[in-house]
Structures are given as structure tokens and as C-alpha cells.
Amino acid sequence: MNEFQALVLTKENDEATLSVKKLGLQDLPKGDVLIKVAYSSVNYKDAMVGVHHQMVKSFPHIPGIDLAGTVIESTDNTYKAGDKVIVTSYELGTGHHGGFSEVARVPKEWVVPLPDGLTLREAMILGTAGLTAALSVQRLEDNGLTPSQGPVLVAGATGGVGSLAVDMLAKKGYDVTASTGSSSEKTYLEKLGAKEIISREEVTDQDNTPTREKRWAAAVDPVGGSTLQYILSTLKNSGSVATSGLVGGIEVRTTVLPFIGRGVNWLGIDSVQCPMELRRKVWERLADDLKPSHLNEEVVNEVFLEEVEDTLQEILEGRVRGRTIIKLDGSE
């Protein structure tokens, strides 16, 4: 495939534009593995790159922090032509051309073999959001969480990480409470397995209270900010919160009281530089016990490259629920 299409961010006279262009292999960066991309996915981070041009090291640039596809060729014998693979995180889509392209070239160290039990399409319905949600569950369970300990709160539950976390936890038998700013999404969240749906305002700290009534055995937090403040103040003794996002802000006001008075755990989730051993382990779980029960049209919206720019804006405005994937190859 000498020519292919990609969504390219260009900049001229301090004005950046995003458009679908025809490229050649010579336009791709150096790397060990050349991949025919079947699907990518659209994430909040992609919107920060594509709309606000944050994290972009140079122009022209292809966004897309996720991709799944088939190896065309590899200079490393770890992978061979025909292998199905996943690439997420690292510098993909930020410092390195990403997945919004029919062809990508990446370092071998970034590549994960597609596990048995997942299709390429399912892998991108999951994508970084699914990896992040699964890492959150993994870390919570590593810290002793079991379904018998009580309800688990999922903040931002209609977003990518939140939706998938609700689904995963419910499948594992946890009593899930989902918080959302969209009151119309009650039916959607109940289908994913949430036992209770509460408003975003109910889990937002308004008065910087360090401890409140104990409510949650654990929480998945892709939001941050005052939502995280509230969560820390309401965790049960030895409870944990796994934080992976900042859409609610980067500032968190708390005290030592929840930590020394209740022994709570604040767990940071980093899907970008997650060690490969753990990354592969979690992807194997995503094909097995953490594979969501609703990887279907309830969770996913499928678009083409030409539609991605509008989707990026909708994500920033909070108008996208679940996951949005980009179909790049008609073979699957």
C-alpha cells in the first residue's frame, strides 16, 4: 500500500487545520513495525491534540492514540506479516504519527499481540479507555477489593472509561453506583449493569469537607477535581480510588484525614507508560474476565475519517457517550 489516507493536522502562519489527505509510506516516521490499520478510536486526549493542538511536537501530524490492525512488515522477528496487533499510548498520536491513518509505522516496543477472544474492532471499542478502565479494576483488586465489600462508585459514567468500567465491574459481580451529568442516560447505564444512578452534583465537593459519611468500598475516577475531593471524603475504611482523568480539573483540595483516619488509598492510573508486562496482562483480561458484556451498539458509535473532526469537538463539549471508533479497513 504505497498510498493511503490519513487525518492530518497541519499548521501554516500559526493557523492549524485538520483534514483528510493522501500520504505515502515516506511520510511515516521511523519504526520497526508497519501496520495496516483496521480501526482506531476517538478519545478525549485526541480532542486535546486535534482541536487544541496540545502535546503535538511537530507539524504535519497524524493524531490518534489508539490503533488495531494487521502487520504488513516488520524489521523485528517478534512480529511477522499477517499478525494482528494493538498499539495504544506511549507517544502514539502525540509525539509520533498516530492511528487516524490507514497505515502506521511504530516501534516494536509499543506493540501488543491481539489476544485470543478479541477482534480488532472489539480491541478499539476498548482502546485506551478500556485499558484504563481495566487497569483501574486491576489496581483496586490488587489493593484488596472484592464484591462483598460494598458499592463501587464510577464517576463520569457515560464517558469512555466510565461506561466500560461500569460494564466490567457489573460483570464481575460488583454493586456499581454510576454518577453522570446526563439524567437522560439512566436507561443506558442500567443496561450496562449499574444498580444505582446518581447525579454529578451529588458527587461534587462544594465545601472542601475532608471527611463525610462513609459510602464507597472503592471508586473509579476518570474525572478528578472536586469529584475526586468528594470521593476521598466518602470512601470506607481501607477503601481505594483509582484516578485516571482530569476533565473535572487538576486541582484537588483535601487533607491527611481520610488517609490517616480511614486508611484510604489514592491510586494513580497511567495507561501511557504502563509497563509492557502489566499491559499484556491487562489486555489478556480484557479478552477474558474483564471483557465487557456490552461491546455492541449500546456502547459504540462508528465513524469514518471524514467525520472525526466533528466528533472531536463533540467530545470536548461532553456530547459523546460510550466509545467512538473509526473504521479504516473494510476487511473485517
d(CA 42, CA 147) in angstroms, rounded, equals 31
**Mean pLDDT rounded to a whole number for the chain:** 94
User: Are 7 and 62 spatial neighbours (Cβ–Cβ below 8 Å)?
Assistant: yes
pLDDT at 21 over 80: yes
Q: Cell numbers 485516571 label which residue?
A: 244
Q: What are the cell numbers at 267? A: 491510586
pLDDT at 329 over 90: no
User: Are 159 and 179 spatial neighbours (Cβ–Cβ below 8 Å)?
Assistant: no
d(CA 59, CA 300) in angstroms, rounded, equals 31
pLDDT at 115 over 70: yes
pLDDT mean over 298-318: 90
Q: What are the cell numbers at 114? A: 491481539
Per-residue confidence band for 300, with pLDDT thresholds at 50, 70 and 90: confident
3-state helix, strand, coil split of the chain in percent (to 5) is 30, 30, 40
Torsion of CA 243, 309, 121, 302, to 10 degrees: 110
Q: What pLDDT was estimated at residue 1? A: 65
68-93: per-residue pLDDT in tens?
999 999 999 999 999 999 999 999 99
pLDDT mean over 150-161: 95
